[in-house]
Structure formats: C-alpha cells, structure tokens
Amino acid sequence: MCGIIGIVGERDVTARLLDGLRRMEYRGYDSAGLCTIHEGQLLRRRAEGKLRNLVDEAARNPAPGATGIAHTRWATHGAPTERNAHPHATAHVALVHNGIIENFKSLRDELVADGRVFESETDTETMVHLLSREIEAGLTPTEAVRKVLPRLRGAFALAIAFRDHPDMLIGARLGSPLVVGFGEGETYLGSDALALASLTQDIAYLEEGDWVTLSREGATIRDLSGEVVERAVQSSGASPSAIEKGNFNHFMQKEIFEQPTVVAQTLRSYLRPLEQRVALPQMDFDIGAVERVTIVACGTSYYAGMVGKYWFEQFARVPVDIDFASEFRYREPCCPMAGWHCLSRRVARRRTLWPQCAIARCRGRSSPRW
C-alpha cells in the first residue's frame, strides 16, 4: 500500500519528508521519491528499492525547500523502477498518488493526441498532465483540480504541488484515506495519523470525495460538489514509537512478539471491571437471516478472513466467500449452492445468480457436498 506525506512549512522539509516515509515503511513498497519547491523550481528525487537509496540520493543531490511531497510506491501500473516512481511531474505540477485510476488509458490516449509526452508507464502521470494542461490554459491550481477530479474513475489519495505556488499543496481522496495535520505555521498531509505522528497530534480525516487546499495558515476543505465544509479536528493519539522496529530485526518479527499484548488490549476493551461483567458489542441484525457473507481482504487480513470463514460456516451455518481485495471488484460471483446436491432432499440446485437463491431454506437441515 502506497504511503503519502506532504508539508507546507516555514523551514526545510526534506529531512522530515524522509522521516515520514520511514514511519510508513510498514505498508510495504518498492520505490520512493520526494519533490520540493525551491526558487521557482520543482526539485524531484527518486530511487528504486529501499528508502535508504532515496536518502542517499537526497544526500548527493539536496532538494531544499519549505514545501514538499513524498511517496513510497507499491507498483500497480508499470514496473518498480525509478522511472515509474513517484512523484510524477511536469514543468508546472508534481503529484503523488495512492490508488488506481481505472480510466487512465482513455485519458492518456487523449493527452498523447494533444501532444503530451509521457515518461512513465503509470496511471498517475495521466493526472499530472491533465492538471498541467489546465494550468497552462490559465486556470488557478484550485480551478484546475476542480475541473480534473470529476474526470477520474477509480480510487485515489493525492498530494499535489505547484511550481508557481510554493506556499500551497492540494490533497484529494476518493476510496483511499488521507489525513490533514495542523501545526504552528505549518500544515501537513498524510496517508494516516502515524505518518504525521512526529509532526502533530491535531488532525482531521478527509471524508469520501473531499479535497483540501493547504497553506501555512491552515486548510480549506471542500466536498465532492466543491462546497467548503468543516471536518472535526481531533487528537490522533498516535505515538511515533508505535511503528518503530525497536530491537526487532523487522516489522513482521515485531508484530509476532506483540500478539499477546494486542490480544489483551482487544479483550480489555470489552471488560467492565466496575460492573464485574463482559460487555460484548450488540449486533443490530440477525446473523441467521443472512444468506451469504463475503470477506474482502489481503495480506494477514486474508488469513484472518480464512479463520472467520471456518467459524461462520461451522457455528452460524452461513456460506462464506473470501476474496483478495485487489481482485474482488472484477469477479462475477454465482450462487454458492450452484452444483451442490441437498442430501436431505436430494434436490439438485441449478446454477443461478446467488441473490435469487433460497439458501436459508436449507440451512441447518441438510449437509451439502460438492
């Protein structure tokens, strides 16, 4: 999962951008990059592989500036190379992106026909050229973003820097999370609260479809329709040490040894010691009335989902599918009873679309076999 951090500040941001990326290494990545605005230029530094390669590149070729964006990339469109690493940029705009733009091919074809030259294989670079075209046509950054966002189909969290506006960043989210942080004379963007933990504890979560203009004085948030809205500022409670590897060799080892503590903390949330009781969450629906459960997950969450599948089917007698999150939207699921034979009724169910299936009539009274 890609990681994003952005800072509009009063002093050099490079070291803090790199620190923010380091705090998001737990997300996994294959390349990293940053871009700052300095003396009317977009200074971009990128590197394939581990974050230390970007640190070395920034040491060899410094990128000063009080405003900047940075990114760790997990490759989707295009190989994990420096050429495909974020930020992507033109002479006017630099941008980092978490998510997938599904209609990028048609947009890219339009831009190529318009004479735009691409340097990467990514969907992200399409957005950079769309914004640049509007800026070159005389639109302000806010006007350009307002015009381009409705054309995008898919999921995205964006942090955008503009060469001619060194005291501004714009962020946007649809389907991917993005957090705004507030400091003294500085404002921040991050993929999550942990990314900003060393910078501020005062954050606001953008809601679906929100986009935000950041300056040193604060942030102006707009909703999907472009209307200015307020989002609650809260204390994140995130500790920078929460994602440190400490004395462990890697994050997976750290997570393994943290399991007893995590389980204890989870169980403790249901304890009411003053009342000497366990307060389990109340379900507002009848699991017996549910005909089918689909679990969508990836990574370790996928393994947890497999355990959940066994429990749902064993104890609740509810059929369960589990799918990789990245593939789920492209599936066309059929009836889970398709091809099964009801042993108690000897009824062969024909293949149908699952919402029309009467699974509930069989639950608890028959045993399926493939």
Q: What is the pLDDT of residue 176?
A: 86
Sequence-ordered list of residues with C-beta below 8 angstroms from that of 42, at least 6 positions apart, any chain: 35, 36, 89, 91, 93, 94, 161, 163
Domains of the chain, earliest start first: 3-236 (3.60.20.10), 272-333 (no CATH), 335-370 (no CATH)
The DSSP annotation for 305-365 comes to HHHHHHHIIIII---EEEEEHHHHTT-----TTTT-EETTTTEEPPP--GGG--GGGTTTT
Q: What is the pTM of this model?
A: 0.70
Residue 157 three-state SS: strand
Q: What is the pLDDT of residue 337?
A: 52
Q: 113 burial class (0-12, 13-18, 19+ CB within 10 angstroms)?
A: exposed
17 near 9, Cβ under 8 Å? no
Divide the 370 residues of the chain into consecutive groups of 10 and give the mean pLDDT of each group: 90 95 83 96 95 95 97 81 93 94 92 95 94 97 96 93 97 93 96 89 94 96 93 79 63 81 72 72 76 88 93 90 84 59 38 42 40
CA 32 to chain centre: 16
